[in-house]
Amino acid sequence: MHEQERTKADMDTAGFPIDISNYKPLSLDPTQDALDTGQLAQLKTNIQIVRDTIIFYTAAAGVKGLGGHTGGAYSIVPEILIADGFMRGSDKVYPVLFDEAGHRVAVQYAMAAFNGEMPFEKLLHYREYGHGLFGHPELDPDIGVKFSSGRLGHLWPFVNGVAKAHPDMAVFLFGSDGSQQEGDDAEAARLAVAQKLNVKLVVDDNNVTISGHPRDYLPGFNVASTLAGHGMPVDEGDGEDVEDLYRRLQKAVAAAGPAAVINKRAMAPGVPGIEGSNAGHDVIKKDAAVAYLTARGRMEAVGYLNDLTVSTTIATFLGSSSDTCSNRTEFGNIVNAILDRLSEKERATSVLVVDSDLEGSTGLKGIRAAHPEVCINGGVQERGNFSAAAGFGFSKGKQGVFSTFSAFLEMIISEATMARLNDANVLCHFSHAGVDDIADNTCHFGVNVWLANSGLPEGDKTRLYFAADALQLKSMIETIWSDEGIRYVFTTRSKTPFICKEDGTKFYANGYAFVPGKDEVIREGSAGYVIAYGELLYRALDAVERARVEGIDVGLVNKPTLNVVDEGATAKVGAAPFALVVEGQNVNTGLGTRYGGWLLERGFAPKYAHMGVTKPGFGGVSEQVGHQGLAPDDILAKIRLLTA
């Protein structure tokens, strides 16, 4: 028996409410050009069982409020199981199911369970804190996770290297018509062809991405034609025709060198409520899952979903309001109010808003709904989309607006340098900054936003802004809208409360006007100052208020303009006994690596400490901040230490 082969007896199904007893793993010979009747029947049975499992356990995560992704993982089960069979049946197939679309991780976890590498019960903790089943795969061989996907469309170049290191083995890579829009894949295709690498690319071509349908927003884009243009042999077919799918995959594996197998299908085929829909990209809703599972006779699983109860704890923070607002959504509302003041002709000629298939998550959906004349969906192409927005702002009086997740800022640094050299005007909204609520885990952490501060100081107009709450964000965007250069505005995935004055009124209401480059004293203090911004400001304020109750007269400074030194505020902090920088950014790249130097350069030497992100995530949503040691209790403990 090949070392990858396992038997049904290896599967630990205790406590799992889906009967998988009819699942029998197949060992498939890659030289066999067709399945026999028994193999085909068993493969179809296995496909349905794995698909039922994915529907069930992702729905459970959704009920718990953990989110997730169902449709993509569900869709590619047929090709995953065929590839798994080849890995069982031959030592000439590299035994990893590489997938460049990390959000389809649910199929990776399911296969780890069906292959006996994790108990099925563990699937019930998908995306929960402390269980290792993150929103994207992160290497953990102990539970059968054999690779890290990174961000969408970034894995193929890495897999090329794997194939080069193992020239006698076929290496599978699963892709999609979304991931294939990334520029990395074009480069990887050319290298795979030039080097005759034995990479077998299997693409789910379902015409669905997060914010639309590729054939609508990129009407010239065709996955098969693009890959063929790079010299890849391409074989297109119906992904739901299992017999033909096997034939096409076997043909690809049997051939030397790279090959692409393109599978046409609807998103989540056969799942009422999400089939063919953008909703299939996200986690399936409970009602749709219950309807599907009921039709399949999975009543124990239905009962489990119906019995799930979720306790909701609403956290409150001293010094902040009990009401909250989503800054990332407000970005779109604020921009709309500015656009409303322009005529339609003025809007169309002076503003271009470029989305990278994330409009619902970054506030651009609201702009498109109100002002479609200024918006384009550029697809999953961050580098090109940023440059298009910057190029639109090449002419004086024109404004490019670009938005994506903060984690993806790392992808556009070179393009930002070119935009800076061209003195372009572009307003960038990077949402999902920091780690708060990032269930997709480490690869989606927006913790290196300071890399945007890469211009040469002389004459540099680049500015990094991170508002404390939605009221400050409104004043901020209205103030900087017409400024020149590259302006980065950061927001979090999580909602934030409103910062309050000591009398309980909202700090950024009642005539507040944002001043770029100015730090703001939220609380005066004689014992020392905490310096914070963004989603850590209200947490730091809670710690400061509690310290003051204990008799420690500590102050708090908000630094909404990250990369400009406010001389007056810096002198104030420098004259105090201690300075503590608290931020939701990488300790190796964030404000804390600079602020101490700024103090020393100006002749100040208070006690100094820095708190930030130091380690990979461990799943969950709100738990991410505490996992990094950045909760109010942690900040208070550091204040006590500095004043001991």
In a domain, 509, yes or no: yes
What does the buried/exposed string (b/e) look like for 173-199 if buried means 16 or more CB atoms within 10 Å of the residue's CB?
A: bbbbbbbbbbebbeebbebbbeeebbb
pLDDT the model gives residue 14: 87
Give the integer Cα–Cα distance in Å for 399 and 413. Answer: 19
**Is residue 24, in this structure, part of any structural domain at all?**
yes
Q: Which of 262, 214, 191, 616 is nearest to 378 (CA)?
A: 214
Provide the residue range defining the domain that includes 494.
320-643
Q: Where are the alpha helices (DSSP H) in 9-124?
A: 37-63, 71-75, 77-89, 105-114
Q: Is residue 54 within 8 Å of residue 107, measured between CB atoms?
A: yes
Tell me the DSSP string of 453-467: --S-STT---EEEE-
Report the SS3 class of residue 35: coil
What pLDDT is attached to residue 311? Answer: 79
Domain shared by 175 and 224, yes or no: yes
- Distance from C-alpha of 465 to C-alpha of 480, rounded to nearest angstrom: 10
**Same domain for 229 and 372?**
no
Q: Assess whether 552 and 488 both reside in one domain.
A: yes
Q: How far apart are CA 213 and CA 182, in angstroms?
A: 16
Please state, in angstroms and rounded to a whole number, the distance separating the CA atoms of residues 359 and 385: 13
Q: Where a domain ends, among 274, 307, 340?
A: 307
Distance CA 596, CA 610 (A): 9
Question: CA-CA distance, 105 to 22, in Å (whole number)?
Answer: 24
Residue 320: the pLDDT is: 98
pLDDT given for residue 7 in this prediction: 42
pLDDT tens digit sequence for 585-620: 999 999 999 999 999 999 999 999 999 999 999 999
Of 244, 277, 307, the position where a domain reaches its end is 307
pLDDT confidence of residue 242: 98
Q: Measuring CA to CA, how many Å separate 351 from each of 339, 354, 369?
A: 9, 10, 15
Residue 154: partners with Cβ closer than 8 Å, 6 or more residues away: 100, 182, 184
425, 485 in Cβ contact below 8 A?
Answer: yes
**Could you tell me if 533 and 466 are in contact, meaning their C-beta atoms sit under 8 angstroms apart?**
yes
The verdict on 238 and 330 lying in the same domain is: no
Cα(403)–Cα(358) distance, integer angstroms? 8
The helix/strand/coil state of 435 is coil
Short-list 38, 37, 36, CA closest to 24: 38
Please report the pLDDT score of residue 187 as a whole number.
Answer: 98
DSSP string, 573-625: HHTSSEEEEEEEEETTTSTHHHHHHHHHHTT---EEEEEEE-S---S-STHHH
pLDDT confidence of residue 81: 98
Length of the chain in terms of residues written: 644
Q: Report d(CA 13, CA 19) in Å as an integer.
A: 8
For residues 386 and 533, membership in a common domain is answered with yes
The one-character DSSP state at 345 is: H
Give me the pLDDT at residue 314, please.
83
CA dihedral (507, 513, 514, 517) in degrees, to 10, reads -110
The pLDDT score that the predictor gives to residue 310 is: 85
Q: Let me know whether 339 and 419 are in one domain.
A: yes
Which of 266, 285, 307 is a domain's end point?
307
Instruction: Say if 47 falls within a structural domain.
Output: yes
| 616 within a domain of the structure (yes/no) | yes
Q: Are residues 547 and 596 in the same domain?
A: yes
- Under DSSP, is residue 437 helix (H, G, I), strand (E, B) or coil? coil
Are 415 and 485 in the same domain? Answer: yes
Tokens of 487: 């302006």
Number of folded domains in the chain?
Answer: 2
The verdict on 233 and 350 lying in the same domain is no
Q: Is residue 3 part of a domain?
A: no
User: Same domain, yes or no, for 332 and 251?
Assistant: no
Residues 6 or more apart from 391 whose CB is under 8 A from it?
400, 419, 422, 424
Residue 402 included in any domain? yes
Q: Is residue 65 part of a domain?
A: yes
* pTM given for the model: 0.96
Domain check: are 180 and 81 in the same one? yes
Alpha carbon separation from 406 to 112, 413, 452, 490 (Å, rounded): 31, 12, 10, 7
Angle CA 432–433–436, to nearest 5: 75
CA distances from residue 376 to 213, 371, 443 in whole angstroms, order as listed: 13, 11, 27
288 with 355, same domain: the answer is no
Strands 399-405, 259-264: pairing is unpaired
The answer to the question of residue 536 being in a domain is yes
Using alpha carbons, select from 85, 5, 81, 15 the residue that is nearest to residue 50.
81
Mean pLDDT, consecutive 10-residue stretches, the chain (644 aa), reads: 42 91 97 97 98 98 95 98 98 98 97 97 97 97 97 96 98 97 97 98 97 94 98 98 98 98 97 93 96 98 95 89 97 98 96 96 96 96 98 96 98 97 98 96 97 96 98 98 97 97 96 97 98 98 98 98 98 98 98 98 98 97 97 98 97
pLDDT tens digits for range 375-400: 999 999 999 999 999 999 999 999 99
Place of tokens 């082969």: 5
CATH number of the domain residue 404 falls in: 3.40.50.970
Of 311, 286, 273, give the one whose Cα is nearest residue 61.
Answer: 286
Q: What is the DSSP letter of 494?
A: S
